[in-house]
Amino acid sequence: MELFLTAVDELAPGLVTGFYLVGSVALGDFHPRGAGRGRLSTASDIDFVAVTDSRVERESREMAALAEAHARTVARFPRPHFDGAVLTWTDLAAGPDGCPDVPCAQESRFTPAGRSGLNPVMFCELAGHGITVRGPQPVEVDLWADQNALRAFTVDNLRTYWRPWWQQKQQRSALSLAIGLSPWFPVWAVLGVSRLHHLLATGTMTSKCGAGRYAQNEFDPRWQRIIAESLSLRTDGTEGRRTYRNPLARRRDTLAFLDTTIDAALALPAES
């Protein structure tokens, strides 16, 4: 963060007037080390929201400054990923659907115009949990945080992302098996879907590990083993316990958990 902000201030003084952390850092669940490498890593990212007073034009000196500052940052710190979006204060009030394409970075790749992070989850994380590095506190900002939209987005995510993802990962193709046997697979699936169930059941947001603890307390005992495995993989062994010797068995239980929990989440009442 210091490197990025120092570079931006050097290249375009006064451009970034707000800077906030969201994601796992803001939720108290940051794990810089994880099993696996690259896209199959269980490590956390650093997720940010940078704010400017006015729109940054695509071919402007300010856009070049943002791109250069981000490039310097990821060159010095290739991991964890440094991901986020550059919004205006007006964008924060308008919400994700009111935002045009904005400068953003995903998996440390910067683009001058994209939509990475422009969803109700990021806005509501910022409103409820955002860590202020520069600028006013989130509670002092006119900030969109529509809980009904967050809930609708979560239901849609279960139906249009997670259910097709589960169906695809059931295939026994070489790629599906490689993903299914990786340590990343149960962390992403078990803890990811548990987070969505938690939000729909309680109306509140939680981290991946928070979702794992919630699942341990709320879900059927038959799922305790795969939940504990996922927590252990997420935390590098500080939580949960690894008991699977056979990654095929772990994949099987992950897929079964996913199938049951998606259905259970979608069956929850419309209002918690």
Angle among Cα 203, 163, 151 to the nearest 5 degrees reads 20
Query: Structure tokens of 44?
Result: 């956390």
Give pLDDT, residue 137: 97
Cβ distance 85 to 112 under 8 Å? Answer: no
Amino acid 37: pLDDT = 45
Q: How far apart are CA 163 and CA 192, in angstroms?
A: 13
SS3 of the chain: helix, strand, coil, percent, to 5: 55, 15, 30
The candidate with the shortest Cα–Cα distance to 135, out of 49, 17, 22, is 17
- Which pLDDT does position 34 carry in this prediction? 54
- Within 13 A of 186's CA, how many CA atoms are on the CB side? 30
HEC string of 113-138 equals: EECCCCCHHHHHHHHHHCEEEECCCH
Q: What is the pLDDT of residue 38?
A: 44
Instruction: Report yes or no: 194 and 261 within 8 Å, Cβ to Cβ.
Output: yes
Q: Is the pTM of this model over 0.75?
A: yes
- Residue stretches of the chain with pLDDT short of 70: 33-43, 271-272
**How do residues 95-112 score in pLDDT, each as one tens digit?**
999 999 999 999 999 999
Residue 106's beta-bridge partner residues? 109
The answer to whether the CB of 99 falls within 8 A of the CB of 118 is yes
Residue 50 is predicted with a pLDDT of 98
Q: What would the pLDDT profile of 178-200 be if each residue is shown by its tens digit?
A: 888 999 999 999 999 999 999 99
